[in-house]
């Protein structure tokens, strides 16, 4: 067999997740990267809205992040929820009001940078998923040195930073709304530059 040329490995195109993933992609306790009783649990929640400002009732989001110390989990079993192992991955479908809720921990700094969570958005109508990042409002100092935030027009940076919105039941809560279009359209990232 001849050695395949690099040009033969052209990426497979994306297609929409569609509306009917509900019996397939969500998995048990997928939105709980840590159990709610974890001493450092935080809530990360928000609403996905479209260009008319209406909630998107059929979006599904994934989180991928470092642990509290900034370590990236290499634990197998990222879909497992044994109650103790932090695998850094979570998945949550929105409800009818376009709202999602994750329970996780705030990631530590990786390599000295500003902490953030990778957020991926899928939905009917999104033919290609969208990547973004959720940063934390208390890290403003580190944000000034962050390469990704630095690449974003200043007026749009705030869309990448969660809003602290209280401590329901003693758990720190952060709101991260995802606006697919509109005046405060969320900044989405292309890692393939």
Interface of this chain with other proteins, residues 101 to 160, rule: CB under 8 A: 107, 110-111, 113, 116, 118, 120, 122-131, 147-148, 151-152, 156
Q: CB-wise, 19 or 166, nearer to other proteins?
A: 19
Applying the rule CB under 8 A, the residues between 58 and 97 that interact with other proteins are 62, 64-66, 72-80, 87-89
Q: Is 1 one of the binding residues for other proteins (CB under 8 A)? A: no
Q: How far is the CB of 166 from other proteins (least distance, A)?
A: 27
Q: Residue 20's CB: how many other CB atoms inside 10 A? A: 9
Give the tokens for residue 149: 């935030």
Residues in the chain: 193
> Which residues, in sequence order, are bridge partners of residue 123?
59
Applying the rule CB under 8 A, the residues between 25 and 44 that interact with other proteins are 25
Count residues near other proteins (CB under 8 A).
75
> How far apart are alpha carbons 178 and 98 in whole angstroms?
10
Asked if residue 100 lies in contact with residue 92, where contact means CB atoms within 8 angstroms, the answer is yes
Q: CB-wise, 144 or 167, nearer to other proteins?
A: 144
Give the tokens for residue 187: 């900044």
Q: CB-wise, 103 or 186, nearer to other proteins?
A: 186
> How far apart are alpha carbons 134 and 100 in whole angstroms?
14
Q: How far is the CB of 19 from other proteins (least distance, A)?
A: 7
User: How far lies 4's CA from each of 8, 16, 150, in Å?
Assistant: 7, 30, 40
> How far apart are alpha carbons 10 and 51 in whole angstroms?
32
Residue in 101, 142, 171, 188 binding other proteins, rule: CB under 8 A: 188
Q: How far is the CB of 71 from other proteins (least distance, A)?
A: 10
Q: How far is the CB of 122 from other proteins (least distance, A)?
A: 6
Q: 3-class SS at 141?
A: helix
Q: How far is the CB of 38 from other proteins (least distance, A)?
A: 19
């Amino acid at each position: 067999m001849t050695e395949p040329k690099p040009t033969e490995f052209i990426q497979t195109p994306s297609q929409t997740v569609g509306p009917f993933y509900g019996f397939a992609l969500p998995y048990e306790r997928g939105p709980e990267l840590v159990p709610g009783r974890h001493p450092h649990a935080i809530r990360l929640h928000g609403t996905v809205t479209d260009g008319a400002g209406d909630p998107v009732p059929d979006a599904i989001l994934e989180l991928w992040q470092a642990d509290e110390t900034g370590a990236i989990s290499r634990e197998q079993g990222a879909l497992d929820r044994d109650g103790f192992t932090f695998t850094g991955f979570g998945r949550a479908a929105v409800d009818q009001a376009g709202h999602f809720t994750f329970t996780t921990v705030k990631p530590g700094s990786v390599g000295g940078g500003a902490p953030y969570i990778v957020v991926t958005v899928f939905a009917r109508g999104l033919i290609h998923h969208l990547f973004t990042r959720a940063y934390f409002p208390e890290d403003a100092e580190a944000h000034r040195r962050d390469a990704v935030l630095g690449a974003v027009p200043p007026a749009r940076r705030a869309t990448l930073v969660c809003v602290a919105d209280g401590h329901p039941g003693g758990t720190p809560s952060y709101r991260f709304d995802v606006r697919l279009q509109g005046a405060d359209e969320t900044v989405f990232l292309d890692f393939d530059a």
